[in-house]
Amino acid sequence: MIKKVLVANRGEIAVRVMRSCREMGIRSVAVYSDADRNSMHVRYADEAYRIGPPPSRESYLNVEAIIGAAKSSGADAIHPGYGFLSENASFSARCRQEGIIFVGPDPYAITTMGDKIIARQTMIKAGVPVVPGTTEKLKDEQEALEIARQIGVPVMIKASAGGGGKGMRLVKHLDEVGSAFRRARSEAINAFGDDSVYIEKYIESPHHIEFQILADNHGNVIHLFERECSIQRRHQKVIEETPSPLMNPELRREMGETAVQAAKAVNYKGAGTIEFIVSDNLEYYFLEMNTRLQVEHPVTERVVGVDLVKEQISIANGNPLPFRQEDLRQTGHSIQCRIYAEDPDNNFMPNPGIIKHITEPHGLGLRCDGYVYEGYEIPIYYDPMITKLISWGETRVEAIARMKRALYEYKITGVKTNIKFLEKIMDTRDFIEGKYNTHFIENNEAMLHASRPCGIECEDMAIMAAFIDYIAKMESIQPPRYTDELGSNWKDFGRKRNVLRL
């Protein structure tokens, strides 16, 4: 039985995992770099161990230091969160060697799904539809050109080891194949230390729809329905929701079964996600599998009523899944917005710094998964995501209204954030109507980047206009004056409130 879990991560996801541990009566151990000494996950944990200097390579990716902390603390399991070591097969193997439970799949599943070329081969064998394209590494530019010609442009040249939207090039014309091939390859070697690239057909008007999977050690594999993740910037998700506005019950059943089949093909254990690209005419193709918990997992938790971290730990403990496929239902609608410390007016440049003031939203139908607090300095070394806002409503309309209300309540000063940008998305017609694909942000560029007059927000303008109007009315009745009895004009105005209303 797992009694103590070391969380090999930082930020919101580390806090998120520890929260479930606390509910389960499991002690949590934090690890931290020098840049995270004051971080919330360190404060929240029952114990904390320093693992190195700020750069990830020397801390959150430092396997020796993390294993060392696990041993010193006597942790019997390691939860990797997402990013960092979560999809590192040799780390999961190393945990096993050391007698520590890795809360995630075995090295075989991670290796097979972590390499997109091998994953494609495996899926084809399992009868899962993949995006048309190559199943071998491209040898050279010449071969890339020949294949692009056969498949027909547009195509994508993608890094086999890719992740986080990196190492991917869209090719619209055949004469761009050479440069796209070279760029994808150099990005791949720099980011992932592996220069393998392959080609697949570019699916036009693409929708990114993924299925959440849970698999135990007793042969049970189920899905927890879909997440719509087509609101993206640079191939990275910004807003996610479930159910998907594109989905229908028949397609949901079929894609869900396909996702289960994909997980079974690698003898998957734990929580994972099968990502699909879906075309406008509802043809779907396997894109990749993420063999870990995802950033957007809370929308599924809210609509299906399952704590995914608890299930991960329970599976790692060897328990069978506590429910069957037919027990699961989607109730209502949930939307997640990723809040980043970044400047949307300056090409979304990360904007780390000290949080001077923060008021987080609360109230019915809302979840706020974050880790920053007033006076906290967001380090420059890591991902600038600071919070995830998750709204729930009986209907999609209600979930959107709640999200708008939450974004309105959310106040942060000291660092720039994308909150206003997200508010504008909530007001966009295509989003409200649920008619969008992965081109949404570029298609609505003008609306989403519309500058506001004098840099003053509309809300402030409205308050100022109302105030000017109020003063004008006061002046027309009784010009403001200073009198000893009243003390000041402000008190004077205040006393007239009963007569004059805004």
Does 82 sit near ligand ADP (CB under 6 A)? yes
User: CB under 6 A: which stretch of 175-183, 232-240, 408-416, 487-495 binds ligand ADP?
Assistant: 232-240
Verify binding: residue 348, ligand ADP, rule CB under 6 A: no
Residue 163 interacts with ligand ADP (CB under 6 A): yes or no:
yes
50 is catalytic: no
Cα–Cα distances in angstroms (integers) from residue 210 to residues 120, 204, 363, 499, in the given order:
16, 18, 29, 59
Question: Are the C-beta atoms of 87 and 105 separated by less than 8 Å?
Answer: no
The whole-angstrom distance between residue 212's C-alpha and the CA centroid of its chain comes to 14
**Region binding ligand ADP by CB under 6 A among candidate stretches 65-73, 161-169, 179-187, 347-355:** 161-169
- Cβ neighbours around 105 below 10 Å, total: 27
295 belongs to the binding site for ligand ADP (CB under 6 A): yes
Which CB sits closer to ligand ADP, 69 or 295?
A: 295
Residue nearest to ligand ADP (CB): 163
Stretch that binds Mg ion, among 191-199, 245-253, 273-281, 480-488 (CB under 5 A): 273-281
Residue closer to ligand ADP by CB (options 237, 269) is 237
Residue 235 or 396 having the CB closest to ligand ADP: 235
Q: By CB under 6 A, tell whether 383 contacts ligand ADP.
A: yes
CA distances 166 to 104, 197, 390, 403, 477, Å, are: 23, 12, 26, 29, 65
Strand order in the sheet with 155-159: 168-171, 155-159, 197-201
Please tell me the count of residues contacting Mg ion according to CB under 5 A: 1
202 binds ligand ADP (CB under 6 A): yes
Helix H, strand E, coil C: the string for 290-330 is ECCCCCCHHHHHHHHCCCHHHHHHHHHCCCCCCCCHHHCCC
In the complex with ligand ADP, the residue whose CB is nearer, 232 or 387, is 232
How would you class 173 by CB atoms within 10 Å of its CB: exposed for 0-12, middle for 13-18, buried for 19 or more?
exposed
Q: Looking at 241, 288, 342, 369, which residue binds ligand ADP (CB under 6 A)?
A: 288
Q: Which is nearer to Mg ion, 15 or 119 (CB)?
A: 119
CB 370 within 8 A of CB 360: yes
Instruction: Please say which residue, 240 or 275, places its beta carbon nearer to Mg ion.
Output: 275
Query: Can you tell me which of 20, 232, 258, 351 binds ligand ADP, judged by CB under 6 A?
Result: 232
439 touching ligand ADP, by CB under 6 A? no
Candidate ranges 142-150, 219-227, 268-276, 379-387; the one touching Mg ion (CB under 5 A): 268-276
User: How far apart are CB 162 and ligand ADP at their closest, in Å?
Assistant: 5
The candidate with the shortest Cα–Cα distance to 493, out of 484, 11, 485, 475, is: 475
Stretch that binds ligand ADP, among 3-11, 230-238, 326-334, 466-474 (CB under 6 A): 230-238
Exactly one of 80, 105, 107, 206 binds ligand ADP (CB under 6 A); that residue is 206
The catalytically annotated residue of 120, 185, 252, 292 is 292
Question: Which of the listed partners (Mg ion, ligand ADP, none) does 122 bind, with a CB threshold of 5 to 8 Å by partner kind?
Answer: none
Tell me: does residue 208 bind ligand ADP (CB under 6 A): yes
- Spatial distance between the Cα atoms of 444 and 142, rounded to a whole number of angstroms: 37
Which residues, 2 to 31, sit near ligand ADP by CB under 6 A?
none
Interface with ligand ADP, residue 379, by CB under 6 A:
no
Q: Is 224 in the site for ligand ADP (CB under 6 A)?
A: no
Binder of ligand ADP out of 127, 129, 164, 318 (CB under 6 A): 164
What does DSSP assign to residue 133?
B
Of 323, 305, 257, 304, nearest to 284 (Cα)? Answer: 257
| Count of residues in contact with ligand ADP, rule CB under 6 A | 29
- Euclidean distance between CA atoms 455 and 444, whole angstroms: 20
With contacts defined by CB under 6 A, name the span among 181-189, 201-209, 248-256, 354-362 that binds ligand ADP: 201-209
Q: What are phi and psi of 48, to 5 degrees?
A: -145, 140
Query: Among 345, 429, 336, which Cα is nearest to 391's?
Result: 336
Cα 293 to Cα 306: distance, rounded to the nearest angstrom: 13
The tokens for 369 are 């998964």
* CA dist., res. 130 & res. 127, Å (int): 9
The minimum distance between CB 189 and ligand ADP, in angstroms, equals: 13
Cα–Cα dist 146/168, whole Å: 19
Report, in Å, the least distance between residue 209 CB and ligand ADP.
Answer: 9
Q: Cβ closer to ligand ADP: 83 or 270?
A: 83
Handedness of CA 229, 421, 429, 337 (dihedral sign): positive
Please give the Cα distance from 361 to 346 (Å, whole number): 26
Binding residues among 242-281 for ligand ADP as defined by CB under 6 A: 275, 277
In 3D space, the residue among 138, 174, 82, 135 whose CA is nearest the CA of residue 286 turns out to be 135
Residue from 142, 179, 236, 413 binding ligand ADP (CB under 6 A): 236
Interface positions with Mg ion (CB under 5 A): 275
Cite the active site residues.
292
Interface positions with ligand ADP (CB under 6 A): 82-83, 131, 156, 162-165, 168, 192, 200-203, 206, 208, 232, 235-237, 275, 277, 287-288, 290, 294-295, 383, 438
